[in-house]
Chains A and B, each alone.
Chain A
Amino acid sequence: MNKPLASAALQGKRILITGATGGIGQWVAKLCHESGADVMLQGRDTAKLDALCATLTDRVKCFQYDVTDEHAVKRTFAQIQSDGLDGLVNCAGIMQDSALAMTRLQSVREQFDVNAVGSFLHLQLASRIMMRKRAGSIVNLSSAVGEQGSGGQIGYAMSKAAVTGMTKSAAKELAPFNIRVNAVAPGFIDTDLVASYSEGKRAQIFSHIPLVRAGEAKEVADLISFLLSDHAAYITGQIIGIDGGMRL
Chain B
Amino acid sequence: MSNQQKLVQSFSSALAIAQEQVQDLLAYNSIPEWDSTAHMILIAELEGQFDVMLDTDDIIDMSSVGKAKEILTKHGVSFE
Complex contact A77–B40 (CB within 8 A): no
Complex contact B40–A131 (CB within 8 A): yes
Closest B residue by C-beta to A131:
B44
Docked complex Cα distance between A154 and B56 (Å): 31
Chain B positions within 8 Å of A176 at CB level: 37
Q: How many residues of A contact B (CB 8 A)?
A: 13
Shortest Cβ distance from residue A81 to the other chain B in the assembled complex, whole angstroms? 6
Given A77-B53, A78-B53, A81-B53, also A128-B47 (CB < 8 A): yes
Closest B residue by C-beta to A84:
B48
The majority secondary structure among interface residues of chain B is: helix
Given A128-B47, A132-B47, also A177-B53 (CB < 8 A): no
Within 8 A of A (CB), among B18-76: 37, 40-41, 43-45, 47-48, 51, 53, 55-56
A104 interface hit (Cβ, 8 Å): no
| Number of A-B residue pairs having CB atoms within 8 Å of each other in the complex | 27
Shortest Cβ distance from residue A40 to the other chain B in the assembled complex, whole angstroms? 15
Chain B positions within 8 Å of A247 at CB level: none
Closest A residue by C-beta to B51:
A82
A202 interface hit (Cβ, 8 Å): no
Complex contact A132–B53 (CB within 8 A): no
Docked complex Cα distance between A186 and B17 (Å): 46
Given A78-B53, A81-B53, A82-B51, also A128-B43 (CB < 8 A): yes
Complex contact A128–B51 (CB within 8 A): no
Closest B residue by C-beta to A77:
B53
Closest A residue by C-beta to B45:
A132
Which residues of A approach B to under 8 Å, CB–CB? 74, 77-78, 81-82, 124-125, 128-129, 131-132, 176-177
Provide 10 A-B residue pairs closer than 8 Å at the C-beta atoms, listed in order of the A residue: A78-B53, A81-B47, A81-B51, A125-B53, A128-B40, A128-B44, A131-B41, A131-B43, A132-B48, A177-B41
